Structure 1
Amino acid sequence: MSNALDVRYGRTPERRRRGRVVAIAAGGAVALAAAAWGVWTGIGGSTSTYEADTVTSRVIDDHSTEVRWLITGRADAAFVCAIEARDTSGITVGLVEQTVPVTGSGNRAGDTVVRTVRKAATGLIASCRDA
């Protein structure tokens, strides 16, 4: 009778083996996903390290804003930086992609004028990436 109840409620050796196989496959899938994520995000690889700072911003008129910026990073790397002008609500009203060339120095500064669709409240260097 006990064997009949085990069969009826799925407590057979085959069921336990199938459960182990599913658990091992799920664990393998999680490990594979973690490894793929590590490769995708560059864990253990070389990454570009830099720091981009907005020094000042000045609204010139209703259609332009000047942003003064400073990038500190590898002297042998060129960057492309997104420089934005934003209105009082934080909405981007102008954007310029500025190429920052290799100069031989780790510190590079510049001024960028961002043309805007309406008056901005501020300007900033939003992000950079390797060129």
Structure 2
Amino acid sequence: MTASDAISARYGRTPKRRRRDVLLLAGGGVFAALAVIAWVIWAGLDSPTQIQAKDLGHTLRNDERAVDVTWQLSVPVGTDTACAVQALNEEFAVVGWKVVEIPASERPLRTFTETVRVAQEANTGLISHCWLT
């Protein structure tokens, strides 16, 4: 054994150690890839019902300190839903918030308009998000 080999062995830089490190890294990479693939499949199959809400517009009613928000909701037939409607000011801070309970219907696509009272002057109103109830 040469002096260089002795020093490498002393500090753990042997060919056997390198192979082991490469195998551990490859195994960890394969495990991480399988975990990501499993999560993507699980997340895709976990949402059997699709809820989509689309902002259509808003009307500012500053004399009454309120905003009328109009949106379109697409949910499966016979599904109860709730939506959070919000009003924002110029700094995009929420100045009004309202949760709207939407009963089930035979129509999968519906349009709603809801009035949101505001604490300060608002410059926009929109649908925040919707969920099943």
TM-score, normalised to structure 1, is 0.77
8 Å CA contact 2:51–2:131 kept in 1: the answer is no
Is 1:46 matched up with 2:47? yes
8 Å CA contact 1:62–1:120 kept in 2: the answer is no
| Residues 1-131 of structure 1 aligned to structure 2 (within 5 Å) | 1-2=1-2, 4-9=3-8, 10-31=12-33, 33-35=35-37, 37-38=39-40, 42-60=43-61, 61=63, 63-131=65-133
Name which of structure 1's ranges 60-69 and 77-86 shifts more when overlaid on structure 2.
60-69
8 Å CA contact 2:73–2:109 kept in 1: the answer is yes
How far apart are 1:67 and its partner, in Å? 1.2
Aligned-partner residue type, residue 57 of structure 1: H
Q: Distance in 2 between matches of 1:97 and 1:7?
A: 72
Q: Name stretches of at least 5 consecutive residues in structure 1 with no aligned partner.
A: none
- Alignment RMSD (CA, Å): 2.5
Total equivalences in the alignment: 129
Per the alignment, in what secondary structure is the counterpart of residue 44 of structure 2?
coil
Q: Distance in 1 between matches of 2:80 and 2:121?
A: 31
TM-aligned CA distance change 1:70 to 1:130, over 3 Å: same
Q: Distance in 2 between matches of 1:39 and 1:80?
A: 27
8 Å CA contact 1:62–1:116 kept in 2: the answer is no
Name which of structure 1's ranges 16-25 and 116-125 shifts more when overlaid on structure 2.
16-25
TM-score, normalised to structure 2, is 0.76
